[in-house]
């Protein structure tokens, strides 16, 4: 329950970062950059929608595993991530509208989502490396 509260409290903060990346990804894929406020709203809706669907999937999977007395599998988490990415792409496909052609469609939305995911993973990885490197550097002097 505490994890759910933390995720819901951090969603608006994460959506700020995600909106910046969404603007860059749409500019890269579609040659169109939505306003930051609109990108923030779409990012927040996509994040919460993907989280809600992933949470429901995880809850049902856990419930079925408890009923059948089988241990939970690690592969189910990967499926939940894929489901949330598809929900995120579907949200982008409907809500992001190019000024000339209208909604961007599911194919371009998947590309935007993948570019966004790669950028966010590289950013988080770089931050992790910098922080762990700084920690290891400080350990030398203690």
Residue 136's pLDDT is what? 66
Are 92 and 104 in contact by the 8 Å Cβ rule? The answer is yes
Its pTM stands at: 0.80
Q: Apex CA 15: angle with CA 75 and CA 100, to 5°?
A: 100
> One digit per residue, pLDDT tens: the chain, 142 residues?
567 777 778 888 888 999 999 999 999 999 989 999 999 999 999 988 888 887 788 788 878 877 877 766 666 677 878 888 899 999 999 999 988 888 999 999 999 999 999 998 899 888 888 877 766 666 666 6
The predicted pLDDT at position 82 comes to 85
Q: How far apart are CA 52 and CA 14, in angstroms?
A: 15
- Report residue 80 CA to chain centroid gap: 12
């Amino acid at each position: 329950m505490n994890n759910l509260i933390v995720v819901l409290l951090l969603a608006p903060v994460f959506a700020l970062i995600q909106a910046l990346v969404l603007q860059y990804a749409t500019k890269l894929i579609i040659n169109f950059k939505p306003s930051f406020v609109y990108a923030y709203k779409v990012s927040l809706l996509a994040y919460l929608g993907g989280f809600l669907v992933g949470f429901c999937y995880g809850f049902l999977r856990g419930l079925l595993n408890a009923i059948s007395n089988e241990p939970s599998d690690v592969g189910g988490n990967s499926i939940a991530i894929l489901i949330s990415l598809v929900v995120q792409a579907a949200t982008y496909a409907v809500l992001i509208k190019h000024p000339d052609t209208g909604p961007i469609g599911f194919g371009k939305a998947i590309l935007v989502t993948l570019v966004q995911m790669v950028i966010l993973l590289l950013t988080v990885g770089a931050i992790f490396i910098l922080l762990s490197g700084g920690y290891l550097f400080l350990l030398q002097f203690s």
